[in-house]
Structure 1
Amino acid sequence: MRTSFSIAALLVGTAVAAPIIPFVTTTAVIPLQEDGGVGALSAATEISRRQSSKKACFIIGSKTLPKEVADIATSLASTVSCDSSAKTISGVPDVKSGSTTFSSIDFSKSKQTGLQFALSKFATAEPLASTDLKKFQDMLNVYQATEAGIRSVGGSLAIKVPKFFLEMQVSRIQTAQGNPPSAPGLQVDHLRDKVLKNAPKESSALLNQVKQLATQLK
């Protein structure tokens, strides 16, 4: 009897220690991780969202766009039009915003460096607040659209220097007109640094001009 009791007690103890297997219904959602393990669903969803910007006429390739570029491309899809009969950098269609076409202000057609071209072509009026903001926004639109198209085919990104310079000019004009952008990435100083970072081979004289402009907000 002593032996039977010991065995029974042992079995009871074993049953209590057995692990509990959770019941998972077919509607349970398991979040996926971006490391490719249980989860690349969130990453795949993000990529799919970025690729949806291909609806924009200037996105001609299948390369996945960085989030910021994809967001801009999506916002410009209904603002910028394309001339499929005219190609610019990397085969991107000539784009138009307002009355401005990219081909009319294409830095790559100039013998100047990207920053030289930007400083001369995208100069603001004096006083700064009297500058035509819409004109500068249209110029920025066609540069951003063309950059997105270039990225979609993995082309050269030399366009970033004049594009960031245009962004800085738009921010300067908005600030001078009493409507400074609130987003950190659109602040004059931040965009100044973007220009300088992407123009390491430009002369110090040109870089100093950019620094000086960033201090002139009236």
Structure 2
Amino acid sequence: MYNSITALTLLAGFAAAAPRPIIPFVTGNPIIELSKSPVSVVTARQNACFVIGSTTLPEEVADSVTAIENSITCDTSTTTISGVPDVTSGNVKFSDIDFSQSSQTPLEFALSTFATEDNLADSDLQTFQDQLNVYLATEAGIRSVAGSLAIKVPKFFLEMQISRIQTAQGNPPTAAGLQVDHLVEKVTKNAASEDQALLDQVTALGTQTS
């Protein structure tokens, strides 16, 4: 009996003293989503021809870079705002719809340049998407060098127009950040210094989704 107890005690002691096996890649920390990890942001920055600087991009902007980079081509022989290469998506080139080259205010330019068809559902959704793509790409490039963010007004206006068109065509966006009313607020907030009559036009457009 004594020998049995002694043997068990020794075995228990050896087990306690033995090093614990190490299981690779196991951690007690929450899993990091790859789409939001620093590695993905760096990869997007390295691959995107329009991200020319080293300033850290906000998560939302970094995500947009990942989403559009395969649709964008850069003309490095021509630059636009803050030295960002002229970008193209589909048949749309940013330099052809560059608000900064207009004598109009950013909101005036957006209202006149990015108008929909009278019958909202007949608007060319792909063209609006290409226009938004080049604005998103240029915004990312500007942010990467900590440039002026006046581009946010026409960018949000384009997002609002796309949401209106999708809704009119029977495919309303489901994400909260892409709802028409939310984007109306984004436009008016960023264009708060613009003429009230222009802001009222944006608000009125937000009620027209059919």
1:184 alignment counterpart: 176
Q: 2:42 aligns with which of 42, 51, 58?
A: 51
- 1:136 aligns to 2:118 (yes or no): no
TM-score by length of 2: 0.84
CA distance in 2, matches of 1:144, 1:189: 20
Q: 1:214 aligns with which of 201, 206, 210?
A: 206
Q: 1:97 aligns with which of 73, 89, 92?
A: 89
Bigger Cα displacement from structure 2, 67-76 vs 206-215: 67-76
Instruction: Please state whether the residue corresponding to 1:82 is helix, strand or coil.
Output: strand
1:110 alignment counterpart: 102
Q: Deviations along 1:86-143, whole A, 9 cap, x unmatched?
A: 0000111000011100000000001111001000111111111111111111100100
Instruction: Please state whether the residue corresponding to 2:166 is helix, strand or coil.
Output: helix
Unaligned runs of 5+ in 1: 1-22, 34-40
The two structures, once aligned, show a CA RMSD in angstroms of 2.2
- 1:164 aligns to 2:159 (yes or no): no
Contact 1:150-1:156 at 8 Å conserved across structures: yes
Larger RCO (alpha carbons 8 Å, 6+ apart): 2
TM-score by length of 1: 0.81
- 1:155 aligns to 2:147 (yes or no): yes
How many residue pairs get aligned? The number is: 190
After superposition, the Cα gap between the structure-2 partners of 1:115 and 1:31, relative to the gap in structure 1 and judged at 3 Å, is farther
CA distance in 1, matches of 2:149, 2:21: 49
Percent sequence identity is: 60
After superposition, the Cα gap between the structure-2 partners of 1:67 and 1:31, relative to the gap in structure 1 and judged at 3 Å, is farther
Q: 1:60 aligns with which of 25, 45, 52?
A: 52
Instruction: Please state whether the residue corresponding to 2:71 is helix, strand or coil.
Output: coil
- 1:80 aligns to 2:82 (yes or no): no
Instruction: Please state whether the residue corresponding to 1:78 is helix, strand or coil.
Output: helix
CA distance in 2, matches of 1:156, 1:51: 22
Q: 2:187 aligns with which of 185, 188, 195?
A: 195
